[in-house]
A and B are shown apart, each in its own frame.
Chain A
Amino acid sequence: MKIFVTVGTQLPFDRMIGAVDAWAEPGVHDVFAQIGPTELRPRHIRFRDFVDPATFDREYGDADLVVAHAGMGSILTALQMRKPIVIMPRAAALGEHRNDHQRSTADRFRATAGVYVADDETALTRLLADVSQLTSPDAGFSPDAQPTLLRAISDFVNDQPRARRRTRLWRSVRGVR
């Protein structure tokens, strides 16, 4: 089984990478991880600090399973590409992010088919133990935002006059009110 692991575009997430590395047995699964800027050197999996978007897309596309921090980009990509994904939220108390918003994100997707929430390393290891049981997200996840949001933005843009508003500076220079 091909597994792609990603910590997202900014911060390391050693707790997650360490758990995957401890679980992985070389020769059983093919695991490739994007681990971010960190001192951690995994021993049982292939890894790189960062990958360019083309490599990211290729690894994502080839993977049978994705393991990721609970970042919106990772989750949306999994739903769009119909990849089963295990998400683990970062904890602010452990210095893994500014706040605990990834916990709310994880909660938001707890009931979504194909998305599996690992609240901590133990839960992650448990999910990985039954890795063949993890199923893909449902088909038909739209590539677009909700129509009401698109409509509001579309109308706002169309309602802008072609001539830009005079700025306050311009008005004061011209002496108009």
Chain B
Amino acid sequence: MVTAGKPPHPLGRREGEPPRRVLAIASSGGHWTQLCRLREAVHGHDVTWVTTNPGYRDKAPPGRFEAIRDASLWDKPGLVVMLGQVTRLVLTLRPHVILSTGAAPGYFAIRAGHTIGARSIWVDSVANAEELSLSGHKIGRYADLWLTQWEHLARPEGPHYVGSVL
């Protein structure tokens, strides 16, 4: 007779456990699309979704939604504004966990979160198949769970590979 193994916990918050505060943050476009594909992993927790395009509000996963300033590496003043907004969010939300798929907003959030003891997950974009992104490389020291979506980019000391968003 085959005995069925104990089924694994469903994804998301475990029954009877209090929700954790989660800050899920990514820039708009592909980073955001990938972040949304992780929604089931934080289901049932107290999640705040943050991105750089206010127009995503209506289609954001369940939880709170905040939009912040968009900026790229070429837009230094924009990055400073973004850094301020992200830092304020981290300090007011005081998340247990920060989850990001990149790029600059996630980097800032994890750095800010690090100073207040928040734990963090970085999932480097699946678009970075040849090498880790600049922010993904630099965040390695700070991210508690540092992931690449490409097996050949994984290293024993991190980033690690446990699957992709595809």
Contact = CB atoms under 8 A, between A and B. Distances in A.
Interface of A: 8-10, 52-54, 57, 71-74, 76-77, 98-102, 104-105, 107-108, 143-154, 156-158, 160, 162, 164-167, 169-170
Contact of B8 (A10, A151, A153): A151
A85 to B, nearest CB: 14
A145 B125 contact: no
B27 to A, nearest CB: 8
Contacts of A107: 129
Nearest to A166: B117
B163 A152 contact: yes
Interface string B32-73: 111001111110010000000101101100000000000011
B22 interface: yes
A29 B61 CA distance: 35
Given A71-B127, A160-B20, A145 B55 contact: no
Interface in B103-127: 115-119, 121, 123, 125-127
B30 to A, nearest CB: 3
Contacts of B9: 154, 158
24 contacts: A53-B53, A71-B29, A72-B33, A72-B126, A73-B33, A77-B33, A100-B130, A145-B34, A146-B164, A146-B166, A149-B123, A149-B147, A149-B165, A150-B41, A150-B163, A153-B41, A154-B9, A156-B119, A156-B121, A157-B22, A157-B45, A158-B9, A164-B96, A169-B115
Contacts of A157: 20, 22, 41-42, 45, 96-97, 99
Contacts of A8: 29-30
Interface of B: 8-9, 11-14, 17-18, 20, 22, 28-34, 37-42, 45, 53, 55-56, 58-59, 72-73, 94, 96-97, 99, 115-119, 121, 123, 125-130, 144-145, 147, 149, 162-166
Q: Is the interface of A mostly helix, strand, loop or mixed?
A: helix
B15 to A, nearest CB: 11
A149 B162 contact: yes
Contacts of B144: 156
Lowest 7 A-B CB distances belong to which pairs? A72-B30, A149-B163, A53-B55, A73-B30, A146-B163, A148-B163, A153-B41
**Most B C-beta atoms less than 10 A away, residue of A148, A150, A157:** A157
Given A73-B32, A162-B20, A154 B117 contact: no
Contacts of A162: 18, 20, 96
A145 B96 CA distance: 22
B49 to A, nearest CB: 14
